[in-house]
Each structure stands twice: as structure tokens, then as C-alpha cells.
Amino acid sequence: MSPLSRRWIYVAIVYFCLAVGLGVFMGLSGDHRLMAVHAHMNLLGWVTLALIGIIYHYFPKAATSRLASLQFWLHNLTLPVMMGALALVILGTPQAGPVLGSSAVVMLLAVLLFAGNLLWRRT
């Protein structure tokens, strides 16, 4: 497995632990306010990162491109900011709204980079 695939999967595991930790906290405390954070840490973190890692394993040419590295950093620097801003907005700090909105747009860019990289360098 390429080093890039490994990196995606290692970070995915970190999100899995954090997201399930938050899920257990929500279940035990009965406070489900952070459900959207839990859901996206699991789905945009754990599931998406693991899938990308596995997909790059089957597209080794795409995995070695500069775009792949840029996409890795864009996704993984944006996701914590996006989740932090989402938590702040939910917990009553609407001032974090613009950060949430812009980080979501940057996340979309990272997703498009992934799509473009995979389509252009698939063979």
C-alpha cells in the first residue's frame, strides 16, 4: 500500500475514535446537540478518509501526483476547522458561521480535487 493511502487511513482511524467517543458521550449524557458534528466526523472523517485511502490503493498513479498531496492537506486541515466551527454554531456562537461556510466551500474544493485527480491520472 502506498504511503499516501496509509496516511489517509491512519487519519481516518483518529476520526473514528473521536466520532465514536462523541457518540458515546451523546448517548450517555442524553445531550444530542452535537449530532451533526458526530455524523460528519464519522462520514466526512472516518468513512470518507478510509474510502479515499482504499481508492488510492487501486489508483497508484493518481496517489503519487502532487494534486493528491495537495488534496490530502486541504481535506485534513479544513475538516477540523469545519467541525470546530459547526460545534461553535450549534452551541450558540453564530459568529463562527462564516468560518463554517468558508470551510465547507474549501472542503468542496478538496472533494473536486480528488475527483479531478482520479479522473485525470487513473491509468
Q: Which residues bind ligand HEM (CB under 6 A)?
A: 20, 23-24, 26-27, 32, 35-36, 38-40, 42-44, 46-48, 104, 107-108
Q: Which is nearer to ligand HEM, 63 or 107 (CB)?
A: 107
Q: Which is nearer to ligand HEM, 46 or 64 (CB)?
A: 46
d(CA 105, CA 78): 10
Q: Which residue is nearest to ligand HEM (CB)?
A: 23
C-alpha cell at 92: 450558540
Q: How far is the CB of 64 from ligand HEM (least distance, A)?
A: 25
Angle among Cα 19, 24, 28 to the nearest 5 degrees reads 150
